[in-house]
Amino acid sequence: MIDEISTAGIVSVSTGIERLPQVIDLLAGGLEFIEKNKDKPFFLVLSHITPHANNQKKPDGMEVPSYGPFEDKDWPNLEKGFASMVHNLDQSVAKIIASLVEHGIDENTMFIFCSDNGPHNQGGHDVEFFNSNGDFRGAKTDLYEGGIRTPFFIRWPRVIKPGRESEHLGAFWDVLPTFAEMVGSDAPDDLDGISFLPLLQGMEDRQKQHPYLYWELNAVGWPDLPNIVFLHTCGTIQI
């Protein structure tokens, strides 16, 4: 039953060089939460802030305590800092999964890794340096594919076979209906989201599809950005 699920939201706000130590604190909090709740259903949101830019720190919005394994790379320091933050995030993911394995609960735990927007061009970081948006046009705050496509990986060993890929077109508003179906609850009627649980369970023939996806950017407080509306049809599109 959904009322038996423990919930936790772990949020961090930081500026300057404190960001990576706070990632460590976030990780410690997440691992502690898993330890305390490993014997019952739980829901954990672990919201890392990296590799977000520190836009108040100019000209180096990618400032980190250490460049780590990238110290000797022939890269601009801004890009070393960005790479260091991504590396720390990657290590955090590995430790969370290792904790699930250690406690014997990884097989039936759904682990989702995702982002809230495409790669950014902020804090002095250049999105083209690591080709972070691949073949797609645009970056964060753009409503082209490069700005709205994000990583979305799901690990659920009991249900999803390793290495599966999908061309299913979905968005964040599909997550709540999916979770609701997983726990046998009804999602609110006024949502645009569609559960993608059938897709995860390998029942593609039962998976509902979006006729379109809709974004808009209301640039209040961002004088250099216009208000933008983007309609993403589920067919041939411009990228």
Every domain of the chain and the residues it spans: 2-209
CATH architecture of 2-209: 3-Layer(aba) Sandwich (3.40)
Residues 158-182: what's their mean pLDDT? 93
Q: What pLDDT is recorded for position 232?
A: 58
- Stronger pLDDT, 19 or 193, i.e. the higher one: 193
- Of all residues in the chain, the percent with pLDDT exceeding 90 is 56
Asked if residues 187 and 173 have their Cβ atoms less than 8 Å apart, the reply is no
| Strand blocks (E) in the chain | 6-10, 42-46, 111-114, 152-155, 212-217, 228-233
- Classify strands 6-10 and 42-46 as parallel, antiparallel or unpaired: parallel
Asked if residues 229 and 216 have their Cβ atoms less than 8 Å apart, the reply is yes
CA-closest candidate to residue 47, choices 15, 90, 13: 13
pTM for the structure as a whole: 0.81
Q: For residue 84, give both structure tokens.
A: 């260091």
Report how far Cα 43 is from the mean position of its chain's Cα atoms.
Answer: 16
Q: Which of 6-15, 50-59, 107-116, 222-231 has the lowest mean pLDDT?
A: 6-15
Separation CA 226–CA 6 (nearest Å): 41
Band of residue 2 on the pLDDT scale cut at 50, 70, 90:
very low
Is the pLDDT at 23 greater than 90? The verdict is no
Is the pLDDT at 8 greater than 70? The verdict is no
Residues 47-68: what's their mean pLDDT? 83
What's the mean per-residue pLDDT of the chain? 83
CA-closest candidate to residue 169, choices 202, 209, 135, 119: 209
Q: What pLDDT is recorded for position 1?
A: 38
